[in-house]
Structure 1
Amino acid sequence: MTDATREFVRLEVADGVATMRLDRPKMNALNVQVQEEIRAAAHEATERDDVKAVVVWGGERVFAAGADVKEMADMSYTDMVKRSGGLQSAFSAVARIPKPVVAAVNGYALGGGCELALCADIRIAADDATLGQPEILLGIIPGAGGTQRLTRLVGPSRAKDLIFTGRFVAADEALAIGLVDRVVPAAEVYDTALAWAGQFSNAASYAVRAAKETIDRGLEVDLETGLEIERQQFAALFATEDRAIGMQSFVEQGPGKAAFVAR
Protein backbone atom coordinates (compact mmCIF):
# COMPACT_ATOMS: atom_id res chain seq x y z
CA MET A 1 0.00 0.00 0.00
CA THR A 2 1.55 3.29 -1.15
CA ASP A 3 0.57 6.94 -0.93
CA ALA A 4 -1.26 6.46 -4.22
CA THR A 5 -3.50 3.81 -2.69
CA ARG A 6 -3.75 5.15 0.89
CA GLU A 7 -6.71 7.46 1.38
CA PHE A 8 -6.19 8.87 4.88
CA VAL A 9 -2.50 8.44 5.79
CA ARG A 10 0.26 10.00 3.71
CA LEU A 11 4.02 9.69 4.04
CA GLU A 12 5.70 12.93 2.97
CA VAL A 13 9.52 12.84 2.91
CA ALA A 14 11.86 15.82 2.83
CA ASP A 15 15.49 16.17 3.93
CA GLY A 16 15.58 12.76 5.53
CA VAL A 17 12.43 13.22 7.62
CA ALA A 18 9.12 11.49 6.87
CA THR A 19 5.87 13.02 8.05
CA MET A 20 3.21 10.37 8.63
CA ARG A 21 0.21 12.63 8.09
CA LEU A 22 -3.21 11.50 9.31
CA ASP A 23 -5.97 13.22 7.38
CA ARG A 24 -9.42 11.78 7.90
CA PRO A 25 -11.87 14.66 8.47
CA LYS A 26 -13.08 15.80 10.83
CA MET A 27 -11.33 14.26 13.83
CA ASN A 28 -8.97 11.63 12.35
CA ALA A 29 -11.12 8.82 13.75
CA LEU A 30 -9.07 5.65 13.63
CA ASN A 31 -11.26 3.13 11.84
CA VAL A 32 -9.97 -0.16 10.48
CA GLN A 33 -8.96 1.43 7.18
CA VAL A 34 -6.92 4.12 8.91
CA GLN A 35 -5.32 1.52 11.16
CA GLU A 36 -4.18 -0.50 8.16
CA GLU A 37 -2.94 2.61 6.38
CA ILE A 38 -0.91 3.50 9.48
CA ARG A 39 0.62 0.03 9.35
CA ALA A 40 1.48 0.41 5.67
CA ALA A 41 2.98 3.87 6.18
CA ALA A 42 5.05 2.59 9.11
CA HIS A 43 6.38 -0.27 7.00
CA GLU A 44 7.24 2.15 4.20
CA ALA A 45 9.07 4.45 6.61
CA THR A 46 10.96 1.45 7.95
CA GLU A 47 12.06 0.25 4.52
CA ARG A 48 12.99 3.55 2.89
CA ASP A 49 16.70 4.38 3.14
CA ASP A 50 16.00 8.07 2.58
CA VAL A 51 13.95 8.20 5.80
CA LYS A 52 16.11 8.82 8.86
CA ALA A 53 13.36 9.90 11.30
CA VAL A 54 9.57 10.16 11.39
CA VAL A 55 7.06 12.77 12.56
CA VAL A 56 3.53 11.50 13.24
CA TRP A 57 1.09 14.38 12.84
CA GLY A 58 -2.66 14.74 12.54
CA GLY A 59 -2.63 18.33 11.31
CA GLU A 60 -3.07 21.67 13.00
CA ARG A 61 -6.54 20.94 14.41
CA VAL A 62 -6.43 17.46 15.91
CA PHE A 63 -3.98 14.59 16.33
CA ALA A 64 -6.62 11.86 16.55
CA ALA A 65 -9.74 11.91 18.69
CA GLY A 66 -9.84 8.14 19.04
CA ALA A 67 -11.22 5.03 17.42
CA ASP A 68 -14.25 5.13 15.18
CA VAL A 69 -16.89 4.38 17.82
CA LYS A 70 -19.67 4.05 15.25
CA GLU A 71 -17.71 1.29 13.55
CA MET A 72 -16.93 -0.46 16.84
CA ALA A 73 -20.50 -0.21 18.13
CA ASP A 74 -21.61 -2.72 15.49
CA MET A 75 -18.87 -5.23 16.26
CA SER A 76 -19.59 -8.40 18.24
CA TYR A 77 -17.24 -10.22 20.58
CA THR A 78 -16.17 -12.55 17.80
CA ASP A 79 -15.67 -9.61 15.44
CA MET A 80 -13.30 -8.00 17.94
CA VAL A 81 -11.50 -11.26 18.64
CA LYS A 82 -10.65 -11.29 14.95
CA ARG A 83 -9.77 -7.58 14.78
CA SER A 84 -8.00 -6.82 18.07
CA GLY A 85 -4.71 -8.41 17.04
CA GLY A 86 -4.66 -6.34 13.87
CA LEU A 87 -5.45 -3.20 15.83
CA GLN A 88 -2.53 -3.74 18.19
CA SER A 89 -0.09 -4.77 15.49
CA ALA A 90 -0.92 -1.75 13.32
CA PHE A 91 0.08 0.56 16.16
CA SER A 92 3.07 -1.59 17.09
CA ALA A 93 4.31 -1.14 13.52
CA VAL A 94 4.84 2.52 14.42
CA ALA A 95 6.55 1.67 17.72
CA ARG A 96 8.88 -0.69 15.87
CA ILE A 97 10.05 1.73 13.21
CA PRO A 98 13.83 1.39 13.79
CA LYS A 99 14.35 5.13 13.55
CA PRO A 100 13.56 8.09 15.83
CA VAL A 101 9.81 8.81 15.86
CA VAL A 102 8.20 11.94 17.32
CA ALA A 103 4.49 12.55 17.76
CA ALA A 104 3.44 16.15 17.05
CA VAL A 105 0.23 16.57 19.03
CA ASN A 106 -2.18 19.36 18.17
CA GLY A 107 -5.69 19.38 19.64
CA TYR A 108 -7.04 16.08 20.89
CA ALA A 109 -5.09 12.84 21.31
CA LEU A 110 -7.69 10.63 22.95
CA GLY A 111 -8.17 6.88 23.18
CA GLY A 112 -6.53 5.37 20.12
CA GLY A 113 -5.06 8.79 19.35
CA CYS A 114 -3.25 8.82 22.68
CA GLU A 115 -2.16 5.22 22.12
CA LEU A 116 -0.72 6.18 18.74
CA ALA A 117 1.22 9.04 20.35
CA LEU A 118 2.54 6.56 22.94
CA CYS A 119 4.11 4.57 20.09
CA ALA A 120 6.50 7.46 19.36
CA ASP A 121 9.86 7.88 21.06
CA ILE A 122 8.96 11.37 22.24
CA ARG A 123 5.85 13.54 22.21
CA ILE A 124 5.72 17.28 21.52
CA ALA A 125 2.34 18.79 22.37
CA ALA A 126 0.57 22.08 21.84
CA ASP A 127 -0.07 24.19 24.92
CA ASP A 128 -3.80 23.69 24.31
CA ALA A 129 -3.59 19.96 23.55
CA THR A 130 -5.74 17.43 25.40
CA LEU A 131 -4.76 13.81 25.95
CA GLY A 132 -6.42 10.87 27.65
CA GLN A 133 -7.66 7.29 27.63
CA PRO A 134 -11.45 7.65 28.01
CA GLU A 135 -12.33 4.10 26.91
CA ILE A 136 -13.69 3.26 30.35
CA LEU A 137 -16.52 5.72 29.69
CA LEU A 138 -17.60 3.45 26.82
CA GLY A 139 -17.51 0.36 28.99
CA ILE A 140 -14.21 -0.92 27.58
CA ILE A 141 -10.47 -0.51 28.19
CA PRO A 142 -7.68 0.72 25.93
CA GLY A 143 -7.00 -1.97 23.35
CA ALA A 144 -4.17 -0.61 21.20
CA GLY A 145 -1.43 -0.66 23.81
CA GLY A 146 -2.65 1.97 26.26
CA THR A 147 -2.65 -0.18 29.37
CA GLN A 148 0.92 -1.26 28.65
CA ARG A 149 2.72 1.69 27.04
CA LEU A 150 1.10 4.31 29.26
CA THR A 151 2.03 2.35 32.39
CA ARG A 152 5.64 1.99 31.27
CA LEU A 153 5.80 5.70 30.52
CA VAL A 154 4.14 7.34 33.55
CA GLY A 155 4.09 4.50 36.10
CA PRO A 156 1.25 2.25 37.27
CA SER A 157 -0.44 4.63 39.71
CA ARG A 158 -0.77 7.48 37.23
CA ALA A 159 -1.77 5.12 34.44
CA LYS A 160 -4.49 3.62 36.64
CA ASP A 161 -5.78 7.07 37.56
CA LEU A 162 -6.08 8.06 33.90
CA ILE A 163 -7.49 4.74 32.69
CA PHE A 164 -9.86 4.07 35.61
CA THR A 165 -11.40 7.57 35.42
CA GLY A 166 -11.13 8.19 31.69
CA ARG A 167 -10.43 11.84 32.48
CA PHE A 168 -8.85 14.24 30.02
CA VAL A 169 -5.37 15.62 30.66
CA ALA A 170 -4.36 19.15 29.70
CA ALA A 171 -0.91 19.81 28.25
CA ASP A 172 0.60 21.18 31.45
CA GLU A 173 -0.37 18.11 33.47
CA ALA A 174 0.71 15.81 30.64
CA LEU A 175 4.15 17.43 30.79
CA ALA A 176 4.32 17.20 34.57
CA ILE A 177 3.59 13.46 34.64
CA GLY A 178 5.80 12.62 31.66
CA LEU A 179 3.02 11.82 29.22
CA VAL A 180 4.52 14.40 26.85
CA ASP A 181 8.11 15.61 26.68
CA ARG A 182 7.71 19.19 25.52
CA VAL A 183 4.90 21.74 25.33
CA VAL A 184 5.06 24.58 22.81
CA PRO A 185 2.57 27.06 21.30
CA ALA A 186 0.13 25.31 18.98
CA ALA A 187 1.47 27.01 15.87
CA GLU A 188 4.98 25.70 16.62
CA VAL A 189 4.22 22.03 17.26
CA TYR A 190 4.93 20.63 13.81
CA ASP A 191 8.02 22.75 13.18
CA THR A 192 9.42 21.83 16.60
CA ALA A 193 8.86 18.12 15.90
CA LEU A 194 10.38 18.50 12.45
CA ALA A 195 13.47 20.18 13.93
CA TRP A 196 13.88 17.38 16.47
CA ALA A 197 13.58 14.71 13.77
CA GLY A 198 15.90 16.65 11.48
CA GLN A 199 18.80 16.09 13.89
CA PHE A 200 19.06 12.54 12.58
CA SER A 201 19.23 13.25 8.85
CA ASN A 202 23.01 12.79 8.86
CA ALA A 203 23.36 10.64 11.96
CA ALA A 204 25.02 7.24 12.27
CA SER A 205 21.80 5.44 11.36
CA TYR A 206 22.76 1.97 12.53
CA ALA A 207 23.96 3.29 15.88
CA VAL A 208 20.67 5.16 16.36
CA ARG A 209 18.79 2.01 15.39
CA ALA A 210 20.83 -0.08 17.83
CA ALA A 211 20.21 2.43 20.63
CA LYS A 212 16.46 2.39 20.04
CA GLU A 213 16.24 -1.40 19.84
CA THR A 214 18.40 -1.85 22.93
CA ILE A 215 16.31 0.54 25.02
CA ASP A 216 12.97 -0.82 23.82
CA ARG A 217 13.93 -4.50 24.15
CA GLY A 218 15.65 -3.85 27.46
CA LEU A 219 12.42 -2.54 28.94
CA GLU A 220 10.83 -5.92 28.27
CA VAL A 221 13.37 -8.03 30.16
CA ASP A 222 15.33 -8.21 33.42
CA LEU A 223 18.49 -6.15 33.94
CA GLU A 224 20.98 -8.90 33.19
CA THR A 225 19.24 -9.79 29.92
CA GLY A 226 19.06 -6.11 29.03
CA LEU A 227 22.79 -5.73 29.62
CA GLU A 228 23.44 -8.69 27.34
CA ILE A 229 21.30 -7.09 24.61
CA GLU A 230 23.34 -3.91 25.04
CA ARG A 231 26.65 -5.79 24.91
CA GLN A 232 25.75 -7.53 21.67
CA GLN A 233 24.46 -4.36 19.99
CA PHE A 234 27.51 -2.41 21.16
CA ALA A 235 29.95 -4.97 19.78
CA ALA A 236 28.03 -5.33 16.51
CA LEU A 237 28.46 -1.64 15.70
CA PHE A 238 32.22 -2.23 15.39
CA ALA A 239 31.38 -3.91 12.07
CA THR A 240 29.95 -0.70 10.61
CA GLU A 241 31.73 1.83 8.44
CA ASP A 242 30.17 4.64 10.46
CA ARG A 243 31.93 3.44 13.61
CA ALA A 244 35.31 3.75 11.90
CA ILE A 245 34.40 7.15 10.46
CA GLY A 246 33.12 8.42 13.78
CA MET A 247 36.16 7.37 15.79
CA GLN A 248 38.65 8.63 13.24
CA SER A 249 36.83 11.96 13.02
CA PHE A 250 36.79 12.26 16.82
CA VAL A 251 40.53 11.64 17.07
CA GLU A 252 41.37 14.08 14.29
CA GLN A 253 38.73 16.82 14.65
CA GLY A 254 36.93 16.34 17.98
CA PRO A 255 33.28 15.38 18.53
CA GLY A 256 30.35 16.21 16.27
CA LYS A 257 32.12 16.59 12.92
CA ALA A 258 31.88 13.09 11.45
CA ALA A 259 30.33 12.67 7.98
CA PHE A 260 28.48 9.41 8.37
CA VAL A 261 27.46 7.25 5.41
CA ALA A 262 24.78 5.01 7.02
CA ARG A 263 26.77 1.84 6.43
Structure 2
Amino acid sequence: MSTEYETIELAVSDDGRATVTLDRPDSLNALDDRMAEELLDALETLREESARVLVLRGRDGNFCAGADIGTSPETTAPHEQTRRFRRLRRLFDRLESFPLPTVAAIEGYCLGGGCELACCCDTRIATADATIGVPEITLGVIPACGGTQRLSRLVGLSRARDMILRGKHYDAATMHSYGFLHEVGGDRSFEVLLKDVVEEYLARPPVAIEFAKRVVNKGYESPLDAGLEMEALATGVLFGTEDAEEGLDAFRTNRTPEFRGE
Protein backbone atom coordinates (compact mmCIF):
# COMPACT_ATOMS: atom_id res chain seq x y z
CA MET A 1 0.00 0.00 0.00
CA SER A 2 1.18 3.52 -0.74
CA THR A 3 -0.62 6.86 -0.65
CA GLU A 4 0.29 9.93 -2.69
CA TYR A 5 1.11 13.18 -0.87
CA GLU A 6 3.02 16.33 -1.84
CA THR A 7 5.42 16.64 1.11
CA ILE A 8 5.63 13.12 2.52
CA GLU A 9 5.61 9.55 1.30
CA LEU A 10 3.62 6.84 3.07
CA ALA A 11 4.16 3.17 2.37
CA VAL A 12 3.11 -0.02 4.17
CA SER A 13 4.85 -3.28 3.36
CA ASP A 14 3.24 -6.70 3.46
CA ASP A 15 5.01 -7.57 6.72
CA GLY A 16 3.36 -4.64 8.55
CA ARG A 17 6.13 -2.05 8.39
CA ALA A 18 4.77 1.45 7.75
CA THR A 19 7.25 4.11 6.65
CA VAL A 20 6.52 7.82 6.53
CA THR A 21 9.27 9.70 4.71
CA LEU A 22 9.48 13.48 5.00
CA ASP A 23 9.90 14.51 1.39
CA ARG A 24 11.05 18.11 1.05
CA PRO A 25 14.77 17.51 0.46
CA ASP A 26 15.40 20.97 -1.03
CA SER A 27 14.61 22.44 2.41
CA LEU A 28 16.29 19.59 4.33
CA ASN A 29 12.79 18.21 4.94
CA ALA A 30 11.78 21.26 6.96
CA LEU A 31 8.30 21.12 8.45
CA ASP A 32 5.69 23.46 7.00
CA ASP A 33 1.93 23.65 7.52
CA ARG A 34 1.22 21.43 4.51
CA MET A 35 3.57 18.73 5.74
CA ALA A 36 1.96 18.86 9.20
CA GLU A 37 -1.49 18.40 7.65
CA GLU A 38 -0.29 15.50 5.51
CA LEU A 39 1.42 13.83 8.48
CA LEU A 40 -1.82 14.06 10.43
CA ASP A 41 -3.71 12.53 7.52
CA ALA A 42 -1.12 9.74 7.23
CA LEU A 43 -1.54 8.87 10.91
CA GLU A 44 -5.30 8.67 10.47
CA THR A 45 -4.89 6.55 7.33
CA LEU A 46 -2.61 4.12 9.16
CA ARG A 47 -5.28 3.49 11.78
CA GLU A 48 -7.22 1.69 9.05
CA GLU A 49 -4.25 -0.36 7.85
CA SER A 50 -2.76 -3.58 9.20
CA ALA A 51 0.56 -1.98 10.07
CA ARG A 52 2.51 -3.15 13.13
CA VAL A 53 5.24 -0.51 13.41
CA LEU A 54 5.74 3.02 12.08
CA VAL A 55 9.11 4.36 10.94
CA LEU A 56 9.52 8.11 10.52
CA ARG A 57 12.49 9.26 8.45
CA GLY A 58 13.60 11.95 5.99
CA ARG A 59 14.52 11.98 2.32
CA ASP A 60 18.12 12.21 1.04
CA GLY A 61 20.10 11.90 4.24
CA ASN A 62 18.39 14.41 6.52
CA PHE A 63 15.65 13.79 9.07
CA CYS A 64 14.15 17.28 9.46
CA ALA A 65 15.96 20.61 9.82
CA GLY A 66 13.09 22.20 11.75
CA ALA A 67 10.21 24.46 10.86
CA ASP A 68 10.37 26.06 7.42
CA ILE A 69 10.78 29.72 8.30
CA GLY A 70 10.42 30.69 4.67
CA THR A 71 6.84 29.48 4.55
CA SER A 72 5.77 30.80 7.96
CA PRO A 73 2.92 33.33 7.99
CA GLU A 74 4.10 36.94 7.87
CA THR A 75 1.81 37.98 10.68
CA THR A 76 3.38 38.37 14.11
CA ALA A 77 0.04 38.91 15.85
CA PRO A 78 0.32 36.88 19.06
CA HIS A 79 -3.14 35.34 18.81
CA GLU A 80 -2.53 34.18 15.21
CA GLN A 81 0.81 32.60 16.06
CA THR A 82 -0.68 30.91 19.13
CA ARG A 83 -3.47 29.43 17.02
CA ARG A 84 -0.97 28.19 14.45
CA PHE A 85 1.18 26.41 16.99
CA ARG A 86 -1.85 24.91 18.68
CA ARG A 87 -2.78 23.44 15.30
CA LEU A 88 0.75 22.12 14.83
CA ARG A 89 0.69 20.66 18.32
CA ARG A 90 -2.15 18.35 17.30
CA LEU A 91 0.32 16.50 15.07
CA PHE A 92 2.88 16.03 17.84
CA ASP A 93 0.25 14.91 20.34
CA ARG A 94 -1.18 12.39 17.85
CA LEU A 95 2.27 11.01 17.08
CA GLU A 96 3.14 10.63 20.76
CA SER A 97 -0.11 8.77 21.52
CA PHE A 98 -0.16 6.75 18.28
CA PRO A 99 -1.11 3.12 19.08
CA LEU A 100 1.69 1.59 16.99
CA PRO A 101 5.31 1.57 18.15
CA THR A 102 7.09 4.46 16.42
CA VAL A 103 10.74 4.69 15.39
CA ALA A 104 12.52 7.93 14.50
CA ALA A 105 15.26 6.99 12.03
CA ILE A 106 17.52 10.04 12.27
CA GLU A 107 20.09 10.90 9.64
CA GLY A 108 21.79 14.25 9.07
CA TYR A 109 20.01 17.24 10.56
CA CYS A 110 17.39 16.76 13.26
CA LEU A 111 16.83 20.28 14.54
CA GLY A 112 14.05 22.35 16.07
CA GLY A 113 10.72 20.93 14.98
CA GLY A 114 12.53 17.84 13.70
CA CYS A 115 13.93 17.20 17.16
CA GLU A 116 10.45 17.74 18.58
CA LEU A 117 9.02 15.16 16.15
CA ALA A 118 11.67 12.69 17.27
CA CYS A 119 10.79 13.38 20.91
CA CYS A 120 7.30 11.98 20.22
CA CYS A 121 8.58 8.63 18.96
CA ASP A 122 9.05 5.55 21.11
CA THR A 123 12.49 4.65 19.80
CA ARG A 124 15.10 7.03 18.42
CA ILE A 125 18.07 5.75 16.45
CA ALA A 126 20.61 7.79 14.49
CA THR A 127 23.59 7.65 12.22
CA ALA A 128 26.88 8.47 13.88
CA ASP A 129 27.13 11.74 11.95
CA ALA A 130 23.63 13.02 12.82
CA THR A 131 23.27 16.57 14.18
CA ILE A 132 20.56 17.15 16.79
CA GLY A 133 19.40 20.20 18.71
CA VAL A 134 16.78 22.83 19.46
CA PRO A 135 18.31 26.11 18.22
CA GLU A 136 15.12 28.22 18.28
CA ILE A 137 16.56 30.54 20.93
CA THR A 138 19.07 31.82 18.36
CA LEU A 139 16.09 33.18 16.39
CA GLY A 140 14.57 34.90 19.39
CA VAL A 141 11.88 32.25 19.99
CA ILE A 142 11.57 28.92 21.81
CA PRO A 143 10.62 25.38 20.82
CA ALA A 144 6.88 25.64 20.28
CA CYS A 145 5.62 22.12 19.55
CA GLY A 146 6.28 20.49 22.90
CA GLY A 147 10.06 20.75 22.96
CA THR A 148 10.19 22.68 26.22
CA GLN A 149 8.14 19.93 27.86
CA ARG A 150 8.99 16.62 26.18
CA LEU A 151 12.74 17.18 25.96
CA SER A 152 13.06 17.67 29.73
CA ARG A 153 11.16 14.43 30.28
CA LEU A 154 13.64 12.60 28.04
CA VAL A 155 17.02 14.03 29.02
CA GLY A 156 16.28 15.60 32.40
CA LEU A 157 15.48 19.16 33.40
CA SER A 158 19.05 20.43 33.72
CA ARG A 159 20.22 19.17 30.33
CA ALA A 160 17.03 20.31 28.61
CA ARG A 161 17.42 23.80 30.02
CA ASP A 162 21.02 23.94 28.82
CA MET A 163 20.09 22.68 25.35
CA ILE A 164 17.15 25.06 24.95
CA LEU A 165 18.79 28.16 26.43
CA ARG A 166 22.09 27.80 24.54
CA GLY A 167 20.63 26.55 21.25
CA LYS A 168 23.65 24.41 20.39
CA HIS A 169 23.95 21.53 17.96
CA TYR A 170 24.95 18.12 19.35
CA ASP A 171 26.42 15.01 17.78
CA ALA A 172 24.82 11.59 18.03
CA ALA A 173 27.28 10.29 20.61
CA THR A 174 26.44 13.15 22.97
CA MET A 175 22.69 12.70 22.52
CA HIS A 176 23.08 8.99 23.15
CA SER A 177 24.89 9.72 26.40
CA TYR A 178 22.06 12.12 27.33
CA GLY A 179 19.52 9.32 26.87
CA PHE A 180 17.81 10.97 23.90
CA LEU A 181 18.98 8.33 21.42
CA HIS A 182 18.48 4.66 22.14
CA GLU A 183 21.03 3.40 19.61
CA VAL A 184 23.56 4.89 17.22
CA GLY A 185 24.78 3.26 14.03
CA GLY A 186 28.27 1.91 14.51
CA ASP A 187 29.48 -1.57 13.68
CA ARG A 188 26.16 -2.23 11.97
CA SER A 189 25.14 -0.06 9.04
CA PHE A 190 22.26 2.28 9.81
CA GLU A 191 19.88 0.37 7.56
CA VAL A 192 20.77 -2.90 9.31
CA LEU A 193 20.21 -1.24 12.69
CA LEU A 194 16.84 0.07 11.54
CA LYS A 195 15.88 -3.35 10.16
CA ASP A 196 16.79 -5.00 13.47
CA VAL A 197 14.71 -2.54 15.50
CA VAL A 198 11.71 -2.91 13.18
CA GLU A 199 11.89 -6.70 13.27
CA GLU A 200 11.94 -6.61 17.07
CA TYR A 201 8.71 -4.60 17.04
CA LEU A 202 7.13 -6.83 14.40
CA ALA A 203 7.71 -9.79 16.71
CA ARG A 204 5.88 -8.14 19.63
CA PRO A 205 2.12 -8.48 20.42
CA PRO A 206 0.28 -5.47 18.95
CA VAL A 207 -2.48 -5.28 21.56
CA ALA A 208 -0.01 -5.36 24.45
CA ILE A 209 2.10 -2.69 22.71
CA GLU A 210 -0.91 -0.39 22.45
CA PHE A 211 -1.93 -0.93 26.08
CA ALA A 212 1.63 -0.49 27.30
CA LYS A 213 2.00 2.84 25.50
CA ARG A 214 -1.27 4.11 26.87
CA VAL A 215 -0.52 3.06 30.45
CA VAL A 216 3.02 4.46 30.38
CA ASN A 217 1.94 7.80 28.89
CA LYS A 218 -1.15 8.32 31.03
CA GLY A 219 0.44 6.90 34.16
CA TYR A 220 3.39 9.27 33.88
CA GLU A 221 0.98 12.20 34.03
CA SER A 222 -0.95 10.77 37.01
CA PRO A 223 -0.35 10.09 40.71
CA LEU A 224 1.45 6.80 41.32
CA ASP A 225 -1.58 4.99 42.73
CA ALA A 226 -3.67 5.95 39.69
CA GLY A 227 -0.94 4.74 37.33
CA LEU A 228 -0.65 1.44 39.20
CA GLU A 229 -4.41 0.95 38.96
CA MET A 230 -4.28 1.57 35.19
CA GLU A 231 -1.49 -0.99 35.00
CA ALA A 232 -3.53 -3.60 36.89
CA LEU A 233 -6.65 -3.03 34.79
CA ALA A 234 -4.70 -3.23 31.52
CA THR A 235 -2.99 -6.43 32.65
CA GLY A 236 -6.35 -8.01 33.44
CA VAL A 237 -7.62 -7.18 29.97
CA LEU A 238 -4.48 -8.44 28.24
CA PHE A 239 -4.62 -11.83 29.96
CA GLY A 240 -7.91 -12.35 28.11
CA THR A 241 -6.39 -11.86 24.66
CA GLU A 242 -5.37 -14.56 22.21
CA ASP A 243 -1.93 -12.99 22.02
CA ALA A 244 -1.39 -13.57 25.74
CA GLU A 245 -2.58 -17.16 25.40
CA GLU A 246 -0.17 -17.63 22.49
CA GLY A 247 2.72 -16.00 24.37
CA LEU A 248 2.23 -18.12 27.50
CA ASP A 249 1.86 -21.32 25.50
CA ALA A 250 4.99 -20.51 23.48
CA PHE A 251 6.90 -19.97 26.72
CA ARG A 252 5.74 -23.29 28.15
CA THR A 253 6.59 -25.22 24.97
CA ASN A 254 9.87 -23.39 24.32
CA ARG A 255 8.94 -22.03 20.90
CA THR A 256 8.76 -18.59 19.25
CA PRO A 257 5.29 -17.02 19.60
CA GLU A 258 3.33 -15.84 16.59
CA PHE A 259 1.24 -12.86 17.64
CA ARG A 260 -1.78 -11.86 15.55
CA GLY A 261 -3.01 -8.80 17.40
CA GLU A 262 -6.10 -10.50 18.79
Q: TM-score range by the shorter chain?
A: over 0.9
CA gap 1:156/1:198 in 2 versus in 1, 3 angstroms: same
Describe the SS at the equivalent of 2:85.
Answer: helix
Match of 2:54 in 1: 54
Q: Write the distance in 1 (CA, Å) between the matches of 2:140 and 2:258.
A: 54
Match of 2:216 in 1: 215
Aligned-partner residue type, residue 215 of structure 1: V
Conserved? CA contact 1:103–1:193, under 8 Å: no
- Equivalent residue number for residue 99 of structure 1: 100
| 1:262 has 2:252 as partner | no
8 Å CA contact retained: 2:29, 2:64: yes
**Is the 1:132–1:167 contact (alpha carbons within 8 Å) kept by the matching residues of 2?**
yes
What is the Cα deviation at residue 206 of structure 1? Answer: 0.4
1:8, CA displacement in angstroms?
Answer: 1.2
* Number of the residue aligned with 2:72: 72
- Greater relative contact order (CA < 8 Å, ≥ 6 in sequence): 1
More deviation, 212-221/157-166: 212-221
Contact kept? 2:24, 2:59, Cα under 8 Å = no
CA distance in 2, matches of 1:24, 1:184: 24
Report matched runs for 1:154-173 at 5 Å. Answer: 154-173=155-174
- Whole-angstrom distance in 2 between the partners of 1:145 and 1:28: 19
Structure 1 pair 180/64, CA: closer, same or farther in 2 (3 Å)? same
**How far is 1:18 from its partner?**
0.7
CA deviations on 1:111-131 (whole Å, 9 max, x unpaired) are 000001111111111111110
**Is the Cα contact below 8 Å between 1:3 and 1:9 reproduced in 2?**
no
- Structure 2 counterpart of 1:63: 63
Q: How does 1:3-152 map to 2 (within 5 A)?
A: 3-4=3-4, 6-14=5-13, 15-26=15-26, 27-49=28-50, 51-72=51-72, 74-76=74-76, 77-152=78-153
Q: 1:202-247 CA deviation, whole Å, 9 max, x = no partner?
A: 4321011111211122211121111111111111112211122222
Task: Tell me the equivalent position of 1:153.
Answer: 154
Give structure 1 regions of 4+ aligned residues with deviation exceeding 6 angstroms: none
Asked if structure 1 preserves the Cα contact closer than 8 Å seen for 2:119 and 2:151, the reply is yes
Quote how far apart the aligned CAs of 1:186 are.
11
Identity of aligned residues (%): 37
Normalised by the length of structure 2, the TM-score is: 0.92
Would the aligned equivalents of 2:115 and 2:133 in 1 still touch at CA under 8 Å?
yes
Give 1:250's aligned residue: 251
List gaps (5 residues or longer) in structure 2.
Answer: none
- Output the amino acid matched with 1:115: E
Q: Secondary structure at the match of 1:123?
A: strand
1-structure distance, mates of 2:40, 2:108: 23
Deviation at 1:185, TM superposition (A): 4.7
Letter in 1 for 2:149: Q
Task: Indicate conservation of the 8 Å contact 2:25/2:60, yes or no.
Answer: no
CA distance change for structure 1 residues 33 and 191 in 2, over 3 Å: closer, same or farther?
farther
Of stretches 162-171 and 202-211 in structure 1, the one that deviates more from structure 2 is 202-211
Map 1:234-245; keep pairs closer than 5 Å. Answer: 234-245=235-246
SS at match of 2:110: strand
Deviation at 1:193, TM superposition (A): 1.9
SS of the aligned residue for 1:199 comes to helix
Which shows bigger deviation, 125-134 or 232-241?
232-241
Query: Distance in 1 between the 2:211 and 2:222 partners?
Result: 16
In the superposition, the TM-score normalised over structure 1's length comes to: 0.92
Higher mean C-alpha deviation, range 186-195 or range 153-162: 186-195
Asked if structure 1 preserves the Cα contact closer than 8 Å seen for 2:65 and 2:114, the reply is yes
Structure 1: 5+ residue runs without aligned partners?
Answer: none
CA RMSD for the aligned pairs?
A: 1.8
